[in-house]
Each structure stands twice: as C-alpha cells, then as structure tokens.
A = this chain, B = another copy of it.
C-alpha cells in the first residue's frame, strides 16, 4: 500500500518574509509550514475557526524541529508539503518541507530542499489550554492521512 501523497501548498516570498541578509528570515518557515497545515486541514473539512466554534477546542503547536538547508529570496515561489507521520490520541505529528523548483530543469525534478522539519500539534480546550483527546470526528477525518506502517 502506497504512502499518502503529501499535501502541497504554494507560498510566494514577499518583502515581509525577508531579512537584511537578503534571504527569508528563518522564523518565517514556521509560518509557511502552518499555512500549509491549515490548508491541508481545510481540505479535509477541518477549518480551524469552525472547529473551534463547534467543539471549544483548538490545535496548538507543541514541538517544532526545523533544519535550514538552502536560502530562499524575494519573489521565489516555494512549495510547502505536509505529511502526517503519526496520529496520537491528542496530537498529530507531521513532516514538512519547503522546496523550490526551477522551471524546465530536468536535473532539478525534485526541487531544491530549503527547509525541512517535524511539527507536533496537540488538541487543547480553548479556555484552559489543557490537552484533550481529539474529538472522534476529527480523528476519523485524519485517519486516512496516516501512512500504513507507522
């Protein structure tokens, strides 16, 4: 059985994303990764504002590990992936990557890896911020995203 195809979300680099080194400020990859996670959840019918209003719970980020491989610059178009690696009772772990592709460059078919990382998000009650088991319908929507042998 094949692994789940990663969800991909395009992100364009604007002035706001860069720093005086002339490259994307490293903290902003956390923002890019979150945009991709948000759109991935939305694609599964899990809009976060709606979830929050319906359940009184929300996802919070509990662990981030990022490695920076190659810099991106103003106007670059990045492709951000999100792939579930683990679905726990109260948390989800994802592998995420930022890649850039050169149009028409056969040697660069997989793109250039800019940044990769592991992000864990936990489900908490909105008021107390206490960890909580994932609501059954959310767990159910996420289940097919989990790779088979993990």
In the complex, identify which listed stretch (A66-74, A80-88, A94-102, A133-141) lies at the interface while the others stay far away. Answer: A66-74
Copies of this chain, complex-wide, total 4
Complex-state Cα separation, A42 to B13, whole angstroms:
13
Given contacts A49-B73, A49-B74, are A66 and B68 in contact (CB under 8 A)? Answer: no
Contact call B23/A22, Cβ cutoff below 8 A: no
Residue A63 CB within 8 A of the other chain: yes
Contact call A48/B75, Cβ cutoff below 8 A: yes
Given contacts A27-B30, A38-B14, A48-B75, are A64 and B65 in contact (CB under 8 A)? Answer: yes
Kindly identify which residue among B26, B42, B62, B64 contacts A61, using a CB–CB cutoff of 8 Å: B26
Contact call A16/B25, Cβ cutoff below 8 A: yes
Could you say which residues of chain B place their CB within 8 Å of the CB of A30?
Answer: 26-27, 30
